[in-house]
Amino acid sequence: MESMPFLHANNIFTITFEDDLAFTEVRSILDQLIAKNAFDDQIQQEEGSYCLTCGPTHFNVWVIEMEVIIRRE
């Protein structure tokens, strides 16, 4: 797995991934997570993992503080 910092919506996230991801996929996933308030401490204690879609592709996504782990289904 690879990790890289990613600036989006005035926040720096650490993106961890196995497969190559397009920037549009990463941005879409982050936008969906922001809409779900996934970076809030309370939400992370309750949820933490998500099944998200970007176009025809499905992703399993885990959020730990500002780290986002992305795995293509």
Tokens 């919506």 sit on residue: 9
- Contact call for residues 54 and 28 (beta carbons, < 8 A): yes
Cα separations (Å) of 23 from 32, 34, 48, 54, 63?
Answer: 14, 16, 22, 11, 18
Domain hosting residue 8, numbered range:
2-72
* Pair of tokens at residue 29: 């996933």
Domain count, the chain: 1
Q: Which amino acid is located at 59 in the chain?
A: F
The per-residue pLDDT for 45 is 83
Question: What pLDDT, in 10s, does the model give residues 24-72?
Answer: 999 999 999 999 999 998 888 888 799 999 999 999 999 999 999 999 9
